[in-house]
Amino acid sequence: MKLNVHIRQEEKSRELRKEGNIPAIVYGKHLSAPVSIFCNKNEFIKKFKQSGYSTALILEGKWLEELVLVQDMQLDPVSDIVLHVDFLAVKKDEKVKTEVPVILFGEAPIEKLGEGKIQLVKDFVEVEAFPQDLPHDIKVDVSTVAKSNDVIFVKDLQISDKVKILDDMEQPIVTVVALVEEVEEETPEAETAEEGAEAPAPEAK
């Protein structure tokens, strides 16, 4: 997946953003120095929706071609507009470590019966692999969760043998939260009224 970029010379970040671009930086241990670049905002957002943080992109420009991962993004705190992007340059023949999101799918029998609620307790898993082998996400089928004590652990994840999971295999990914029925508590006034209603009427003299 390629993203067209341009080397940033003396362009100011504010001016680049006004023109629909995003200032960015590329760094990596095999680069002699970080490289300042910019790219089209709409094109970046489109590619990022496909790649996320764990799928490698190829930055392609006149004086630059690098395999990278999106390492960080600076967002406007009010509008969530992307203000700046950090790219980590990686090499095809060197393994990298990153976090991959966990995505749930399917319908859990215990939820269907209204006996419990699925809880995702770990939404990212740390992995190690060559850049081209990194998964975009790790999908977890919850249709096997039928009882309140059912748990899906890291060791249960289905993943390519080209990818090594670095997290503790005994960590839970999905658990079940029991649904507790709400019991209406009687108010003192209601209890008094009930007692009065149950008391025998006085005998007529």
Burial pattern 168-184, b for ≥16 Cβ within 10 A else e, equals: eeeeebbbbeeeeeeee
Taking 80 as the threshold, does the pLDDT of residue 30 lie above it? yes
Q: Would you place residue 33 in the very low, low, confident or very high pLDDT band (cuts 50, 70, 90)?
A: very high
Percentage of residues in the chain with pLDDT exceeding 70?
87
The pLDDT assigned to 63 comes to 82
pLDDT, residue 155, reads 95
Q: How high is the pLDDT of residue 43?
A: 95
pLDDT in tens, 76-119: 899 888 999 999 999 999 999 999 999 999 999 988 888 889 99
Measured distance CA(95)–CA(79) in Å, rounded:
36
Q: What is the 3-state secondary structure (H, E, C) of 152-184?
A: EEHHHCCCCCCCEECCCCCCEEEEEEECCCCCC
82's tokens: 């992307």
Tokens found for residue 91? 């090499």
Set out the domains of the chain in order of their start, with CATH numbers. Answer: 2-91 (2.40.240.10), 97-178 (2.170.120.20)
Look up residue 119 and give its two tokens: 């809880």
pLDDT score of 183 more than 50: no
Return mean pLDDT, the chain.
Answer: 87
**Is residue 200 very low, low, confident or very high in pLDDT (cuts 50, 70, 90)?**
low
Question: Which residue spans within the chain are E strands per DSSP?
Answer: 2-4, 6-7, 21-27, 35-40, 57-60, 65-75, 82-90, 96-105, 116-120, 124-129, 138-141, 152-153, 164-165, 172-178
pTM of the predicted model, to two decimals? Answer: 0.75
Mean local confidence (pLDDT), 155-181: 91
